[in-house]
Amino acid sequence: MNTSPPCLEVRHLSKTFHEGRRQVAALQDVSFAAYPGEFITIIGPSGSGKSTLFNIITGLVEPNSGEVLVRCGDERRKRGRVGYMPQRDLLLPWRTVLGNVILGPELDGRSKREARRRARELMPLFGLEGFEDAYPDALSGGMRQRAALLRTFLTEREILLLDEPFGALDALTRRELQRWLLGIWQRFRKTILFITHDVEEAIFLGDRVLVFSPRPGRVVMERRVPLARPRLPAQRLSNELLALEAELFAALGVAPGRE
């Protein structure tokens, strides 16, 4: 996998926010690379700067130092180089599902008709068939997340940033969507960065797991997940994984002590 150049490179990122007279260090010297088609999961306690990292990669926030190199994307643009799905689905309530998912191509100025055609094609895969003309308020939580994911996929970006997409869902829906997401990812071969609070989710989904420390966020551990693809639910329980899980929990636990 490391033979091809990285799709995304994050180099020595640091960011400090000023809240009144207080200074809050959100990120400190964060570096990593994502290779084409890789699924990277990022775990860390709340307030470890994970969302700030995403905001810097999308171009919403300027870092104090360091840089983000997006090789799989339009390098001339400052924003809109990656697909981004925030924690809340943020569907536009005044648009139907179809109108929502074609937002990406629409903002790019691409043909809306073509985008609609492609969206209709993908509706069954995203479990939204028959809901094209429904308003978001009529959808269940799981469906809203799938609609938001379809919107993110339809941006046609190589790199997708998913910020705790399943955080607000119940455990059953969540497992179902995890497996479904892996299926989608295998089909489209995107490079995915996936933030989560859930160690088990991080292992089940990721090729690699990055562990962030509490504020200021740093990468305190990086582990490759020794699991073959495609992944099966039964693999969640293997001894090897349980050991990795324990290791990641330990990294999350000791991280504050390393200040």
Q: Which residues bind other proteins (CB under 8 A)?
A: 55, 58-60, 77, 79-81, 83-84, 86, 88, 90, 92-95, 103-104, 106-108, 135, 137-138, 155
End-to-end alpha carbon distance in the chain: 33
Residue number with CB closer to other proteins (15 or 218): 15
Distance of CA 128 to the CA centre of its chain: 21
Closest approach of Cβ 96 to other proteins, in Å?
Answer: 8
Q: Specify the residue, 20 or 109, whose C-beta has the smaller distance to other proteins.
A: 109
- Least distance to other proteins, CB of residue 137, Å: 4
CA 15 to chain centroid = 20
Measured in residues, the chain has a length of: 259
Q: 35 or 135: whose CB is closer to other proteins?
A: 135
Identify which of residues 9 and 108 has a Cβ nearer to other proteins in the complex.
Answer: 108
Q: Using an 8 Å Cβ cutoff, are 216 and 25 in contact?
A: yes
Q: Which is nearer to other proteins, 56 or 251 (CB)?
A: 56
Nearest approach in angstroms of CB 79 to other proteins is 5
CB of 135 to other proteins, least distance (A): 5
Tell me the three-class secondary structure of 160-208, residue by residue. Answer: EEEECCCCCCCHHHHHHHHHHHHHHHHHHCCEEEEEECCHHHHHHHCCE
Alpha-helix residue ranges (DSSP H) falling in the chain: 50-58, 97-101, 103-108, 112-122, 141-153, 171-188, 199-205, 239-254
Nearer to other proteins (CB atom), residue 135 or residue 188 = 135
Return the SS3 of 237: helix
Structural element, H or E, at residue 6: none
Do the Cβ atoms of 61 and 49 come closer than 8 Å? Answer: no
The nearest distance, CB 73 to other proteins, in angstroms, is 10
Smallest separation (angstroms) from other proteins to the CB of 30: 19
